Amino acid sequence: MPRYLMLRTPSANRVYAGEAATLTEAELKITAPFAADVGDTDVAGVGYLGFDAPDLTEGQLDVVARQSACFALFRQEGDLLAPVALPRPLVLDDDLVTIPKYQGKTNEQFTHLLLGVTLAAVTREPTGPRQILDPLAGRGTTLSTALMLGHDAHGVEGDEKAFEQMVSFYRTYLRRKRIKHAADTSSVRREGKVIGRRFEGEIRRDGEALHITAFTGDTRDSASLFGRKKFDAIVTDAPYGVAHGSATTDVRGVSGHRDRSPAGLLREALPVWAGQLMHGGALGLSWNTFGLSREDLAALLTDAGLTVRSGGAWEQFAHRVDSSIKRDLIVAVKP
């Protein structure tokens, strides 16, 4: 059976501080069930992610091209490496995700990985573009990653300033890149009172339309903001419970204060999010393990009626972000 070697983008090592091999290996194992004997391979001092597979089909090449750290693919032929052409999975340029720079932004490559492994757990067949929700959207890294990969993107964010900055970035970006689109921001009213803002956009690309919707508001009100709409996947990076350069943390929690752990917020939000998933849909969540253990989080997901994916590669994503954040991810499916 041929052996393939995937060269990772140089940035992968920087992002995961020496743990890129483990994370990208786990990502490939989960998203590419056709790949056997997945592991790091060294050729002339350069590290590759190697795997065995019969001649790759077009669909399998697409799976490899969608790996978050994929830079190039080679097929090993004796001592030589033959380049393998990969399809281009991006519907929009990756500068949609890389241009915004701000404190508290979730790393782009990690967001791509989280989206990929969450979608790999979805068991329902797609009926069009996948409907992705990030109910803690920040300034939109998940939303942009989803759009870039051809999915519809939806979000809720509690910080109105972050929402406004996201909307203003999308407007400028789409205009400057001369991408055909229609976008509108409006007030959300309940019983005559304005309770928040809504951004809706349609982006037209190669004869197809991608949609984006984002609301300001508390994530625990996500179901009432979106009404009857259901999602294939919920992909989100939970607040870390650390202060980004100020005394308050990024958790808009249950006590009315900024909590040090997202546990209380997640306990209340997870049942709401679970109700927004289609059957066969999946929820992928990244979080800071210093504020909440995997066991406790898994129990919250189970209580919300979801089935947690565990064991093997599903538990090989923990990595250090900085001295106060050890990030991990967990994926659960709605039966």
Ligand X SMILES: C[S@@+](CC[C@H](N)C(=O)[O-])C[C@H]1O[C@@H](n2cnc3c(N)ncnc32)[C@H](O)[C@@H]1O
Q: Give the footprint of ligand X on this chain (CB under 6 A).
A: 104-106, 136, 138-142, 156-159, 162, 218-219, 237, 239-240, 250-252, 265
Nearer to ligand X by Cβ, of 50 and 196: the residue is: 196
Output the smallest distance, CB 329 to ligand X, in A. 13
Q: In the bound complex, which residue of the shown chain has the CB atom lying closest to ligand X?
A: 138
Which 3 state secondary structure label does DSSP give 89? coil
Instruction: Locate the DSSP E strands across 217-294.
Output: 231-237, 251-252, 258-259, 277-288
Output the smallest distance, CB 216 to ligand X, in A. 9
Where are the alpha helices (H) located in 16-152, listed in sequence order? 20-31, 58-65, 95-98, 108-121, 141-148
Output the smallest distance, CB 258 to ligand X, in A. 9
What span, in angstroms and rounded, lies between the C-alpha atoms of 212 and 153? Answer: 5
Output the smallest distance, CB 137 to ligand X, in A. 6
Could you give the C-alpha distances from 150 to 129, 195, 204, 211, in angstroms and in order?
A: 7, 31, 11, 10
Helices then strands, counting H and E runs in the chain, come out as 10, 17
Find residue 243's DSSP bridge partners. none
Nearer to ligand X by Cβ, of 5 and 251: the residue is: 251
Output the smallest distance, CB 293 to ligand X, in A. 19
Residue 315, amino acid: E
